[in-house]
Chain A
Amino acid sequence: MFHPLDQFIVKPLFGEGPIAWYTPTNVTLWMSIAVLCIFLLLVVGSRGRAIVPTRVQSVGELIYGFVYKMVEDVTGHEGVKYFPYIMTLFLFILFANFLGLLPMSFTTTSHIAVTAVLGFGVFFAVTILGFVLNGPAFLAMFWMKEAPLVLRPVIAIIEVISYFVRPVSHSIRLAGNIMAGHAVIKVFAGFAAITLISPVSILAITAIYGLEVLVAGIQAYVFTILTCVYLKDALHPHH
């Protein structure tokens, strides 16, 4: 028997022993596979630079247009220059999520270490950007001019707390969703060994796998659009 959480263990690729920061692990392997896939889709796929695109090129263009439009719609015209960063985040999460759905693979985005770096990275980048662009006026974000004066300090406290909770929820949402789905699939896979309930279990695995495909895309989208929303706050703190 196997443990449902075994799939998340970080292992060295070569040999045994302690894991140092530079050790090539299954994290390294699956992240590089994600990089390779992104390279194949966006660089090799578009090498023809065709006016009438090939299938792979049009998928790449679709993703480009999707993220570009999201950035432009949410953050406005000034946000477009941060498009490459947001595209990087989106593609990394999307490919990590989908590659994690391959049997026997390792899901890098199921680890809080990874998503916390992403979430806090976005948080610090956006906060620093907010202060650089707006100076102390960035703090006006917490001071609701529309609210009655009595309520403003209370609202300011709530706003500050919610601001600092953002990176936590941002990263735990992603890791939690991915981890839970994968763990549930493994739990049902454990039941599949019992003859009596194995048909039900296999049906459940299939259904949850379908759901997980959806979740993989949606979580990448949610992470990206929230990043855009936070970026919008840094660019326009006055609403």
Chain B
Amino acid sequence: MADEATLAEHGAETGAGMPQLDFSTFPNQIFWLLVTLVVIYFILSRIALPRIGAVLAERAGTITNDVAAAEEMKARAVAAEAAYEKALADARAEANRIIAETKAGIQGELDIELKKADAEIAARTAESEKAIAAIRDSAVENVLSVARDTAEALVTALGANVDAAAVATAVSARMKGDA
């Protein structure tokens, strides 16, 4: 009931009963509003906004720098990879070259050695053939003389006169015929 009394009192004061239309409070509200706005404006323009603006700018700068650094590192990585690939290719080419060179060198030496060996073999063969020929000649000579002697002995044993020359001719003819 007391509330209603104050309400009625207020209603009488404000007319329409809306505190919003109680003009006696307007100077107070406007004064404090202006004070508030000025205080907020100074807090913002002197401290808060420059500080936050600086932080945001700094962050943007940091991000840009980091992205740039990352780009640079990536470029360096790509360059390093390219250099590695190139070194690998060079090394492979060098290895191939060395292999070819060595092969050629070995082949040359081998050829020379083979030729030398062939020549030696040929020389030895020729020598051996000569020796064999000599041995065979001497063998034939020996056979001839043994055959002659044997023929003379046979003829003698049979009691005929030995004509050495005729025997030798006959034996030689026989040897030739057999050969």
Contacts and interface: CB of A to CB of B under 8 A. Distances in A.
Interface stretch (A104-112, A144-152, A206-214, A222-230): A104-112
Contacts, number: 138
Contacts of B51: 43, 46, 49
Interface in B31-60: 31-37, 39-41, 43-45, 47-49, 51-56, 58-59
B73 to A, nearest CB: 20
User: Which residue, of B18, B25, B45, has the highest number of chain A Cβ atoms within 10 A?
Assistant: B25
Given A21-B31, A117-B34, A42 B52 contact: yes
A161 interface: no
B26 interface: yes
A68 to B, nearest CB: 8
B156 to A, nearest CB: 140
A27 B59 contact: no
**Interface residue SS majority, chain B:** helix
A51 B55 contact: yes
Contacts of A85: 41
A1 interface: yes
A224 to B, nearest CB: 14
Nearest to B30: A117
Contact of A5 (B19, B25, B49): B19
A38 B40 contact: yes
Contacts of A108: 29, 33
B26 A113 contact: yes
Contact of B56 (A21, A64, A179): A64
A8 B19 CA distance: 6
B29 A27 contact: yes
A23 B27 CA distance: 10
A225 to B, nearest CB: 18
A10 B44 contact: no
Contact-residue bracket for chain B? 35 or more
B55 A49 contact: yes
Interface residues of A, number: 53
A88 B18 contact: no
A19 interface: yes
A114 B19 CA distance: 13
Interface in B4-42: 4, 7, 10, 17-22, 24-37, 39-41
A25 interface: yes
B62 interface: yes
Contact of B48 (A1, A6, A43): A43
Contact of A10 (B3, B29, B37, B55): B29
B28 A25 contact: yes
Interface stretch (A29-37, A132-140, A192-200, A231-239): A29-37
Contacts of B37: 88-89, 92
Contact of B19 (A10, A43, A84): A10
A65 interface: yes
Nearest to B49: A84
A28 B19 contact: no
B17 A5 contact: yes
Given A43-B43, A179-B20, 11 more contacts: A1-B3, A2-B3, A3-B3, A31-B33, A31-B35, A49-B55, A88-B40, A92-B36, A111-B20, A113-B20, A117-B33
In the A-B complex, the 3 residue pairs with the smallest Cβ-Cβ separation, listed nearest first, are A42-B48, A21-B27, A8-B19
Interface of B: 3-4, 7, 10, 17-22, 24-37, 39-41, 43-45, 47-49, 51-56, 58-59, 62
